[in-house]
Amino acid sequence: MKNATHSFGLALACALAVSACGDREAERAAAAAAQAAAIEQQADELAKKYDSAVASNDWDMARIHGIALVDQYPQSTAATRIGPSLDEVKGKAETAREQRRMEALWAYAQVPADGGTQRSAMIYSKEPVDVDGSGAKPVQLVFRDHPKWKRSSYLVLQASDFAKACYSRCQVTLVADGTAPKRMSANRPDTDEATAMFIDDEKALWRLVRKTKVLEVEFLVKDGSPRTAVFEVGGLDGSQMPGWD
């Protein structure tokens, strides 16, 4: 009788132990499932922000949300879904940042002038240029629309001067995004108001700039030798100069 009671107690203890083990396994499984569900939910929230930014063409924000998603929740369903598109989004974000950088290189002005308003679009060379041995200084490219003098385009030096030949007529050489050089007629007005040289065909120059990212302009300086100024022109805002486009 004692042995039977002992056996029954042992069996009951084992049954309780098995039951307890089963409960712990179930609890762990439930906790793991809850954690996985929470991760998927958090990943889905980031994915919604990513999708919204993509739909709005806000490539910077899309890039931020996309990188956060795949870094923080790499095994999530959402990360698997957006993964193939993330490289393209990163590329578009970089392109957008570069475009903003180039846009910021241009300066625009509107000032009262005889008969109305003078409008200007101006940009400095990417690197300063030494035109006379006194040290490198910026070269400026300007488009101007004056109510009296009409439209013009010209280069401005901060020191020295252009070649004497340009006081009558000379040429500048333009290279747009590494393509074949183009020659354009230019002239230096006989005035001391500014060291400027007009590029005569402002319409052709404007059209060229509007489809170009990097423009190289070679011109002759006072001693007759050539210099080249490089302008990152791809951010020109045509709306600032009404009628030029």
Confidence of residue 56 (pLDDT cuts 50, 70, 90): very high
| Best CA proximity match to 175, nearest among 202, 214, 133, 149 | 214
118 and 154 share one domain: yes
Q: Print the domain residue range for 165.
A: 105-240
Instruction: Write phi, then psi, for 15 (nearest 5 degrees).
Output: -60, -45
Confidence of residue 32 (pLDDT cuts 50, 70, 90): low
114 and 234 share one domain: yes
> Would you state the pLDDT for residue 25?
80
- Of 5-9, 23-27, 58-62, 208-212, the one with minimum mean pLDDT is 5-9
Whether 180 maps to a domain, the answer reads yes
Whether 226 maps to a domain, the answer reads yes
110 and 92 share one domain: no
- Residue 168 DSSP class: T
Confidence of residue 8 (pLDDT cuts 50, 70, 90): very low
Contact yes or no for 156/231 (Cβ under 8 A): no
Whether 182 maps to a domain, the answer reads yes
Q: Up-side HSE of residue 158: CA atoms within 13 Å toward CB?
A: 14
Q: Is the dihedral of CA 36, 37, 41, 47 positive or negative?
A: positive
Domain total in the chain: 2
Q: Up-side HSE of residue 146: CA atoms within 13 Å toward CB?
A: 10
Query: In DSSP terms, which residues pair with 175 in a beta bridge?
Result: 216
112 and 231 share one domain: yes
Residue finishing a domain among 43, 72, 97 = 97
Q: Is the pTM of this model over 0.85?
A: no
The answer, yes or no, to whether residue 13 has pLDDT greater than 60, is no
82 and 146 share one domain: no
What span, in angstroms and rounded, lies between the C-alpha atoms of 39 and 45? 10
Q: Where are the beta strands (DSSP E) in the chain?
A: 106-113, 116-124, 139-146, 150-157, 170-176, 182-187, 196-199, 214-220, 226-232
| Best CA proximity match to 220, nearest among 172, 188, 169, 158 | 172
CB atoms closer than 10 angstroms to residue 129: 20
Contact yes or no for 39/55 (Cβ under 8 A): no
Mean pLDDT across the chain, nearest whole number?
A: 90
137 and 55 share one domain: no
> Would you state the pLDDT for residue 38?
83
> Would you state the pLDDT for residue 36?
77
Contact yes or no for 92/98 (Cβ under 8 A): no
121 and 232 share one domain: yes
121 and 169 share one domain: yes
* 113, two tokens: 């002038």
* 212, two tokens: 């170009």
Amino acid (one-letter) located at 32: A
92 and 158 share one domain: no
